[in-house]
Amino acid sequence: MTSLSTSVSSATSASSATSSSSAFGLQGVHHVAYRCRDTKETVEFYQKALGMEFMLAISEDRVPSTKEEDPYMHVFLDAGNGNVLAFFEIPNSPPMGRDPNTPAWVQHLAFKVDSLAGLTVAKTHLESLGLEVIGPTNHELFQSIYFNDPNGHRIELAANTSTPEMLQRLNQLAPQMLVDWTASKRTVHHAAWLHETEFAQ
């Protein structure tokens, strides 16, 4: 199966060779961190729902980067292939909320599964845990299912279905799409074919 990031990288290898990131050895995402309501509940959810390993925990009275007094628990989970998902519980702060001006579907965290069959297995498993699961949704490049964790974070599981030709075509369209969107702030339809099948249902 074609890897989305690998294929895009191959399609843009010439331009990426001059990327400024190469000067300091950018190698990918080290980890992503979110806030959680309850550390134990969150760790157990990701262990049970997605089979993640609980890697380690860090807890301090002060924030190392800012030196602020703010006791916290910081936990790290293995999301597979060297990817790490982390959470902070900060009990002295006001209760968690979300940006009321941003629709709930916008901010989310997507994990890759190995196949469409794996996506089906995942959906069945998640529903058996009592979770509401949306999808599969056909994005043409990949198919996805969506659900929420106990903290209200939207989680996506995606199985790649792209081809190198699709990704190369989209890579070529991307600069003009950005120009057109910036000028008008209206939908640009250069890649409308991506969701024709999904919207036809």
Domain count for the chain: 3
Query: Is 137 within the bounds of a domain?
Result: yes
CA atoms of 140 and 149, how far apart (whole Å)? 26
CA atoms of 170 and 162, how far apart (whole Å)? 11
Same structural domain for residues 194 and 141?
no
Query: Is 126 within the bounds of a domain?
Result: yes
Same structural domain for residues 35 and 93?
yes
pTM: 0.89
Q: Residue 66 belongs to what domain range? A: 30-97
Query: Is 58 within the bounds of a domain?
Result: yes
Same structural domain for residues 90 and 46?
yes
Query: What pLDDT score was predicted for residue 19?
Result: 59
Query: What pLDDT score was predicted for residue 17?
Result: 46
Query: What pLDDT score was predicted for residue 157?
Result: 98
Query: What pLDDT score was predicted for residue 167?
Result: 98
Query: Is 77 within the bounds of a domain?
Result: yes
Query: Is 2 within the bounds of a domain?
Result: no
Instruction: Check residue 81 and give left, alpha or beta (phi > 0: left; psi -120 to 50: alpha).
Output: left
Same structural domain for residues 76 and 64?
yes
Query: What pLDDT score was predicted for residue 26?
Result: 85
Query: Is 189 within the bounds of a domain?
Result: yes
Q: Are strands 83-89 and 32-35 parallel, antiparallel or unpaired?
A: parallel
What's the gap between Cα 72 and its chain centre? 24
Query: Is 8 within the bounds of a domain?
Result: no
Largest CA distance in the chain: 54
Same structural domain for residues 34 and 93?
yes
Query: Is 102 within the bounds of a domain?
Result: no
pLDDT tens string, the chain, 201 residues long: the values are 345 665 555 555 544 544 566 688 888 899 999 999 999 999 999 999 999 999 999 999 999 999 999 999 999 999 999 999 999 999 999 999 999 999 999 999 999 999 999 999 999 999 999 999 999 999 999 999 999 999 999 999 999 999 999 999 999 999 999 999 999 999 999 999 999 999 999
Same structural domain for residues 36 and 93?
yes
